[in-house]
Amino acid sequence: DVIEIAASELSDPGAMTRHFKKLARYLGADDVRQRLQQDGSWHAAGARPAVEGDAPFERISNPDASERFRSCVPLLSLEAAAGAFGSSQSVAFEEWVRPRTSRTLGAGMFVARVVGKSMEPRIPDGSYVLFKAPVTGSRGGRIVLVQLHDHADPETGGRYTVKRYESERVADEDGAWRHVRITLQPENPEFGAVVLTGDSDDHAAVIAELIEVLGTM
């Protein structure tokens, strides 16, 4: 068997713990699997230490076209990101930043600020996050930016939310899969999930996926 790990999961302690527990089970290392279940400090120990005054990005004034989406990406609100990457219309980005990350930048990436406590501790309130659009492959288990059409985020009351995507699917008569229930799940148990039933396209649009939490200003 092959264990696939998405790039967006590398900084997610919950996802990485699940992957390593699965690996330990395959190897018959029950003691390792139990330690992973009981103590998640191993993931925090490998994180880059915070540096006092270390900003999540550097603002870049009018970068050359050749540098855009290579050394810098747009800085957007969640609403602006949905408009820019959720439609086929061309958008002129006005504000560019160089995120403090070791990841390779590319087309479709942008930085946006996520406000609220529903995704803590994964995304601290007010954090700037590196996203990538569009979301390709399975969305299951990924943290995504979603535009809600006829629902509102329970915490902010807004139409744009960042949550972990979970879905239930069934096969129709032609053998094609369709969603019957989508759950946008918060990481913080003190907050409720957004539950969508029926055709997901009628209720929401998945705009982008989380790549990395950059930090706060």
Strand arrangement of the beta sheet that strand 177-185 belongs to: 57-60, 96-99, 73-76, 109-114, 127-132, 204-215, 143-148, 160-171, 177-185, 194-197
The pLDDT score that the predictor gives to residue 51 is 45
Does pLDDT of 215 surpass 80?
A: yes
- Band (pLDDT 50/70/90 cuts) for residue 15 is confident
pLDDT band at 130 (very low <50, low <70, confident <90, very high): very high
Domain range summary for the chain, segments of one domain joined by +: 1-47, 48-215
Read off the pLDDT of each residue in 68-84 and give the average, rounded to a whole number.
94
Higher pLDDT, residue 55 or 13: 55
Q: What is the pLDDT of residue 5?
A: 72
Fold of 48-215: Umud Fragment, subunit A (2.10.109)
179 pLDDT more than 80:
no
Do 215 and 56 form a contact (C-beta atoms < 8 A)?
A: yes
pLDDT at 19: 74
Arithmetic mean of pLDDT, 33-49: 56
Residue 199 has pLDDT above 70, yes or no: no
- For residue 49, is pLDDT > 50? no
Q: According to the model, what pLDDT value does residue 83 have? A: 87
Interval 84-112 mean pLDDT:
90
For the chain, give the DSSP string. Answer: ------GGGTT-HHHHHHHHHHHHHHHT-HHHHHHHHH--HHHHHTSPPP-TT--SEEEESS--GGGBTTTBEEEE-HHHHHHHHSSSS------EEEES-SSPP-TTEEEEEE-SSTTTTTS-TTEEEEEESS--S--TT-EEEEEESS---TTT--SEEEEEEEEEEEE-TTS-EEEEEEEEE-SSTTSPPEEEES-HHHHEEEEEEEEEEEE--
